Structure 1
Amino acid sequence: MNSRYRTVATERADPSTWPTVAWPVLSTAQQTVFRAREDAVRRYCRREPLRAIQAATGVTFSSVRRFYNRCLQMHADGRVQGFRALIPFERVKSYRRQAKITKAGRSGKAGAFALLLERHPQLEALIVDELREHHVVVRQGSKGQLIIGGLSSLQQRFRQACLDLGLTERDYPLVQAEQGVRSLAAAVKSIATRTFEEAARAALAQKRSGGVRPNAEGLPLVATMPYDAVEFDGHRVDVRLRVVFERVAGVEESFEIERVWLLTILDICSRAVLGYHIVLESEYSRFDVLKTVERALVPWDVPALTIPGLRYAPGAGMPSERFPELGYAVWDWFRFDNARANLAEDTLRVLTEIVGCGAHAGPAYRPNQRPHIERFFGTLASVLSHRLPGTTGTGADDPRRRIAEMTASSAAVVCLDELMELTAVSIANYNATAHESLAGRSPLEILGYYLGEKRMALRWLAEPMRRHLCLLQHEHEGHIRGSIARGVRPYIQFFGANYTSRSLATRADLIGQPVRLYFDAEDVRALRVFDATGRELFVVEAQGSWRYTAHTLRMRKEIRKLVRERKLRIRRDDDPVRCYLEHLRQSAGKRRRAASKAENARRTVESAMPIPKAPPGPAEKANLAPDKAPETEQEPDAGMLTGAVRGKRLVIGTGQVFSR
């Protein structure tokens, strides 16, 4: 046999993995040709001699290798052509024009536009940019056809781009009567529909459902055990609320506030809600996300109920309260969306370094990637918010919203404290309710089964971190200020307030040194200070009027903003927090956001300790026993004066501190 057609002893593909063809749909003549070609290629893959293949199938031995190579070429779907390449008259690669265009007219222009884009990539980039900027929109008609919006303006820009590239009126497509508008429209449709994501973006789709789940490296697609993976999300409760302020003794006023946020962490395997947090602000922040994490870790304290007739169902509760061994139990994966608060550096650091779990942010605009938490919010809305007076329903056109507005004597008749009690009972009862997806068991029963029968292995939070989990993540870089020449003792400035202590006021060597500050976002009256190498230095407290009343970091930022905008006037000896509260009370009747901020500030002040408490340091410093407080400063000598450091008004400027 001629060596040219001798079978080469090389590795050949396995045809069992190739795409196949539904050959019964072909015509009789096509079936005969296809079956012969398929048999020939299969025999060639089994290394049968070419002459034997020709004798058995009738396919010439010179064509067997050609058919085999056609099967190995790539298809547009990313796979090999496989047996699809053996269909008679089937093209395995797109047409590419070689001839030049010699005259104008409609005929003889096949492949001309594709050749134009290939020679000038700038033109294709122009089409892509126009689609990305939504200057050109591709919509789907009633019969499924694609309709292009903005094609006329695109054609003008395309024509100018051709002229900028050096093309003349005698070159394609400018030589055409319509200057290639049909080919341009076809190119726009082809580029816009390369993938579903690009097509939905070009059509200005608000959301994209379905699709294949992303197989993130190391992320289990299915949680097989409790605490394997949890889902986190925020939901705005569909109820209009009111709060009650006491102006003077015995005189109360009611104001409507904005809808509140409900942040929830749900275990995927058992469907149990591990913890939740209600936020009164218009948007939740990274501090609220970490507060929810803390609520899911610490054992749950059963809230007292004041509404007559409201009670917990038998066996209802939270996992950390029903099963003491689940207190401070941590999970392996934390799934959330792409909200800015979720992707904040502090949030990711706490999840990965302190909790010790993997953080997985799913694709944007795909709530179906977190189906369990979304389904829980739907269930909670149906059993709670949509049944309350003043419900907003699912939208402006929801009949329940219209009925509530027509029948309610007030637009907002549910009190915030009442909603908190109702939410606590609803979530606790949800954990004790049988689920269809759990074979008729409740989430708490599933947890009890895995703890008792399966004896699943748990991972707990380290003992030193348990008491102050939510405080460990708040870190800020600063410098110690002061001046020896002007007689200004060392101090630290933190968001508009000066901080100092007896220890800092005597350390002239620290002036100008960088420090790391750890603070409690719920009460920023005290800071714990560490040097650049991580060694703890001391605890400093706010000076002046900022030290009187507890306040959050968000409240201080809001106060400073109002002062800059001249909407709030604070005299030298006034308490800025009290002035801020009074300002919000005066605005509560005009704006719901002001009422929400006033209620949030009031709760912060009432729940804070009278004396500021220093936050703990980083996790590496929390290595003491839980019942032993860390010593931050040396005990003073008997001759030293004790007590709070108070600043005096001096002519040398601010920052000077003396001991009385």
Structure 2
Amino acid sequence: MTTKNGESNDWVGAISKRAVALGTFNDWSKPELIGLTDQELEDYQEKFLAMKFYCEGVPIKDIVVATGISRQCINYYAGRCMQLAPDGVWWGCRALLPHLHIKDYCRTKVVGPKLPEAQGGYAGALGAVFYKYPKLEERFNRKILSYHDPDTKNEFRIRSKTLHKIFLDLLKEFGIKENEWPFNTKCLGQHSIGDHIRNVRDGNFGRIVCNEGEREAKAHMAVGKGQRPGLIYTEPYDAVEIDAYKFDCHSSVQMKAPNGTYIDIRISRIWVVLMCDCASGATLAYKCVFRSEISSTDVVDVMRYSIVGQPKPEPVIKGLIYPEGSGLPSEVIPECKGALFTVVKFDGALAHLSEKITNVARKELGYFWTVGPPGHFERRPCVEHLGGLLSNNIFCRLLSTIGHGPNNGRADNCEKIATQTPVLAEHLLHLLDVEVAQYNARISEGLFFLSPLEYIRRKLEKDQQHFLIRTLPASNSRGVTILQLKKIVTVRGNKDGGRHPYVQFLRVHYTSGYLHEAWAMIGEKIVLHIDENDLRLVTAFTMEGFSLGNLIAVGKWADTKHDMRTRKAINSKMMDRTLQVSFEQDPVLVYLAFLSTSKSRKSIDIPADAATEAKRVADEGGLPLVVSIPRSEQATYLEGKPLEFSDSLIIGKKNPDLNELLKQKRLKS
């Protein structure tokens, strides 16, 4: 709006701006003034007072008299304070700070020609190009942020040098001539374009990490935002976290050599499955697994241990003691014996997604299960934190440590050290158990300087024991029967042939004194309750629920304790004819001797995988580890009928590949 003389009438804009500002001063953002000098602080206070009067409706002339600030400056400061800041609100009193630019520099002067070695003169040139060609900036920023472009192919972690070349091509596409910026400069605007690339990447850091970051970086992007999660667990056993970790070191086992001495044989890998409480962070149970990978049975065992108690390893390290009052909650807190959990948080491992976990165990224990997105370990902070503590406090401190990666803490010759300076698996299990007990009894700042065990006790004692933990009925008396495998089988037998009734599970017959004479049950279906860690016997029930007692495995299968994995491994070896077991021999002992047989006649050479499997089988059955001499030199395999191996017999050899034999025959013909 202008007057008759053509002069601008600024009072109209000033009135409308002031009408908006009236009564809003208390809502304006106020900065921290601790870093200002005395002169800067005095100037700020004058501006602050002027804006306060401005928002209260004091006449402008009175503000000028009170603060000494001119009318034009008052309107200027008011306009700055009422502009939107990057955080989405007005700048407020923050705009009154000295040397603060609230908008980017915009060049208006045309970039003129310069001598090649002349300095300066290009300030704001890139901004002027973007102001003139808005689409150019949009397309270039999409390239920086790795958005999909149908015309060109994007690179992974695209370099600044490549982006500079892309920008020059875009300039030519938009009609920028060779005598214009940046083509008329020595470095073709490389420094200005590089600064713009860094600013765009810093302003979109989350997208850059999602596109180019490592797995840990992507997971950490979801934490540290100051926002609490939607579900907060404050009571013990509300939710638990389960995960598995492999030991970050090489270890060995002691095996008895044929000459009576003990030698150290390296094993391949040991896993530990952990269960932690979300509210207290306490370790509820754990299990060590001597295999290359864990299975759903191991996860079920950890759940059972948290309810009925966990077996403790032998104290093989002298002087290593448990702190007073330490241990697992089910051991030291009577109310936690038989305690059940409500929610179980898993990751996406196949062992966690099995039918046994998501259906069978869930129905028996009555919990909810949840699986987070892949690569987001921040959903399970307690168990991840515990896994890191065990790694740093125990395994990465040993001489045989493999570190956290090939170039991160790996000891030199760690495989040889595991046997030359023995790091026995029994020692690791003892160290692990003591560390877990100490962790549960160690005070935590996150729990307001209470230990996880003390936190659980305080919760149980609060409000005159008003809080009650959900428990499984008769958990103490049921023991290992919790979470047992249930399978429906048919009673077999033949009256005419004189074959007494029996049932079969994993190629082994089971019967009992009662079932042996129950001819009327032939052809009937019954339910077997199977302890997967001990297949020597099973418990049978009729379909109506009546107990038939324990059924014992027929033959030598009932002599040595073994689990389902061992049974399947022996059956597999017998099927491909690499293992021969006679009726008089204990299959578990034969299999253990097969694993412990040296592959070399001159030296004791047992592969790490075979030694790991032998350690697992020996621990299950309570058997010693003994190195066997090569088969061609041994008289007997184990106690029982001698095994005979002949080159003319196929027994004792692996079953030949018939397709390969036919192929060779066709080639000869």
Residue 443 in structure 1 maps to residue 452 in structure 2: yes
Aligned to 1:106: none
Structure 2 length-normalised TM: 0.58
C-alpha distance in 2 between matches for 1:525 and 1:421? 28
Q: How does 1:476-491 map to 2 (within 5 A)?
A: 476-491=487-502
Match of 1:276 among 276, 280, 286: 286
Q: Distance in 2 between matches of 1:518 and 1:137?
A: 58
Name the CA distance, whole Å, in 2 between partners of 1:205 and 1:146. 22
Contact preservation (8 Å) 2:313, 2:429? no
CA gap 1:389/1:499 in 2 versus in 1, 3 angstroms: same
Given that 2:486 and 2:529 are in contact with CA atoms closer than 8 Å, whether structure 1 keeps it comes out as yes
Aligned residue in 1 for 2:158: 141
Q: 1:469 to 1:569 in 2, by over 3 A?
A: closer
> Which residues of 2 match residues 359-374 of structure 1 at below 5 A?
359-374=369-384
SS at match of 1:523: coil
Q: TM-score, normalised by structure 1?
A: 0.58
Q: Is the CA contact (8 Å cut-off) linking 1:238 and 1:259 kept in structure 2?
A: no
CA contact (8 A) 1:139 1:146 kept: no
Q: 1:220 to 1:547 in 2, by over 3 A?
A: farther
Contact kept? 1:256, 1:412, Cα under 8 Å: no
Aligned in 2, Cα 1:146/1:528: closer, same or farther, shift over 3 Å?
Answer: farther
Confirm whether residue 575 of structure 1 aligns to residue 575 of structure 2: no
Sequence identity percentage:
29
| Distance of 1:505 and 1:439 partners within structure 2 | 63
Aligned pair 1:327/2:337, yes or no?
A: yes
* C-alpha contact (below 8 Å) 2:250/2:418 kept by paired residues: no
Whichever residue aligns with residue 278 of structure 1, its letter is C
Cα distance in 2 for residues equivalent to 1:359 and 1:332: 9
Match in the other structure for 1:519: 530
In structure 1, the partner of 2:399 is: 389
User: How far apart, CA to CA, are the structure 2 residues paired with 1:137 and 1:520?
Assistant: 55
438-447 vs 533-542, greater mean Cα deviation:
533-542
Deviations 1:479-538 (A, max 9, x none): 222233433332212111112223223333332333322111121121222334444334
Contact 2:345 2:370 (8 Å CA) reproduced: yes
Distance 2:442 2:610 in 1: 38
What's 2:552 paired with?
541
Q: Secondary structure at the match of 2:350?
A: coil
1:140–1:146 Cα contact (<8 Å) kept: no
User: Quick one: which of 352, 363, 380 aligns to 2:362?
Assistant: 352
Which position in structure 1 is the counterpart of 2:298? 288
Verify: 1:428 aligned to 2:444, yes or no.
Answer: no
Deviations 1:581-602 (A, max 9, x none): 1111115933111111111111
Deviation at 1:571, TM superposition (A): 2.5
Contact kept in structure 1, 2:254 and 2:264, CA below 8 Å: yes
1:523 and 1:594, CA in 2 relative to 1: closer, same or farther beyond 3 A?
A: same
Deviations 1:251-286, CA, capped at 9 Å, x for gaps: 323211122111111111111111111111221122
Counterparts of 2:378 and 2:241, CA distance in 1: 12
Q: Which residue of 2 aligns with 1:564?
A: 575
The DSSP-based 3-state class of the residue aligned with 2:232 is coil
Matched, 1:227 2:227: no
Whether the 8 Å contact between 1:237 and 1:260 is mirrored in structure 2 is yes
Whose radius of gyration is greater, 1 or 2?
Answer: 2
Give yes or no for contact 2:266–2:419 (8 Å, CA) kept in 1. no
Give a deviation string over 1:305-335, Cα, whole Å, max 9, x none. 3322212234432222332222222222111
For the residues of structure 2 that align with 1:529 and 1:244, how far apart are their CA atoms?
39
Map 1:484-633 onto structure 2 (within 5 A).
484-587=495-598, 589-606=605-622
Which residue of 2 is the match for residue 56 of structure 1? none
Paired residue secondary structure (2:351): coil
- Kept in 2: contact 1:261–1:279 (CA 8 A): yes
Please tell me the residue identity of whatever aligns with 1:359. W
Shift of 1:241: 0.9
Matching residue of 1:311: 321
User: Cα 1:470–1:499, aligned 2, differ >3 Å: closer, same or farther?
Assistant: closer
Q: Distance in 2 between matches of 1:443 and 1:198?
A: 38
CA contact (8 A) 2:493 2:502 kept: yes
2: distance between equivalents of 1:514 and 1:301? 35
The residue number in structure 2 matching 1:619 is: none
Q: How far 1:146 sits from its partner (Å)?
A: 9.8
RMSD (Å), alpha carbons: 4.0
- The equivalent of 2:69 in structure 1 is none
Segments of structure 1 that go 5 or more residues without pairing to the other structure are 1-31, 40-126, 131-135, 148-195, 214-218, 609-660
Alpha-carbon distance in 1 for matches of 2:380, 2:163: 32
Per the alignment, residue 66 of structure 1 pairs with: none
Within a 5 Å distance, the mapping from 1:439-478 to structure 2 comes to 439-454=448-463, 455=465, 456-463=467-474, 466-469=477-480, 471-478=482-489
Q: Distance in 2 between matches of 1:361 and 1:411?
A: 43
Contact 1:277 1:288 in 2 (8 A): yes
**What amino acid maps onto 1:426 in structure 2?**
E
Q: Which moved more, 1:384-393 or 1:408-417?
A: 408-417
1:255 is matched with 265
1:419 to 428, 450, 453: 428
Tell me the secondary structure at the aligned position of residue 582 of structure 2: coil
**Cα distance change on mapping 1:503 and 1:317 into 2, 3 Å:** closer
2:304/2:480 contact within 8 Å kept: yes
What count of residue pairs does the alignment treat as equivalent? 434
Question: Relative to 1, partners in 2 of residues 1:146 and 1:471: Cα closer, same or farther, differing over 3 Å?
Answer: farther
Distance 1:364 1:449 in 2: 36
Amino acid at match of 2:246: R
CA gap of 1:448–1:538, structure 2 versus 1, over 3 A, is closer
CA shift, 1:410, in A, is: 3.9
Deviation sequence 1:535-567 (CA, Å, 0-9, x none): 433432211232232221111110111112222
Contact persistence 2:304–2:482 (CA under 8 A): no
Contact 1:301 1:321 in 2 (8 A): no
Instruction: Give 2:231's aligned amino acid.
Output: L
1:586-645: CA deviations, max 9, x gaps? 15933111111111111111289xxxxxxxxxxxxxxxxxxxxxxxxxxxxxxxxxxxxx
Verify the 8 A CA contact 2:250 2:415 in the aligned structure 1.
no
Q: Where do residues 118-133 of structure 1 align in structure 2 (5 Å cutoff)?
A: none
Q: For residues 386 and 203 of structure 1, do their structure 2 counterparts lie closer, same or farther at Cα, with a shift above 3 Å needed?
A: closer
Match of 2:202 in 1: none
Cα distance per residue 1:150-172 (max 9 Å; x no partner): xxxxxxxxxxxxxxxxxxxxxxx
In the TM superposition, residue 438 of structure 1 has moved relative to its aligned partner by: 2.0
Gap change, CA 1:289 and 1:302, over 3 Å in 2 = closer
Quote the Cα distance in structure 2 between the aligned partners of 1:349 and 1:275.
21
Task: After superposition, give the CA deviation of every residue in 1:224-268 in whole Å (9 maximum; x if it has no partner).
Answer: 112211111111011211111234684323211122111111111
Aligned equivalents of 1:382 and 1:144: distance in 2? 40
Q: Which of 248, 256, 266 matches 1:246? A: 256
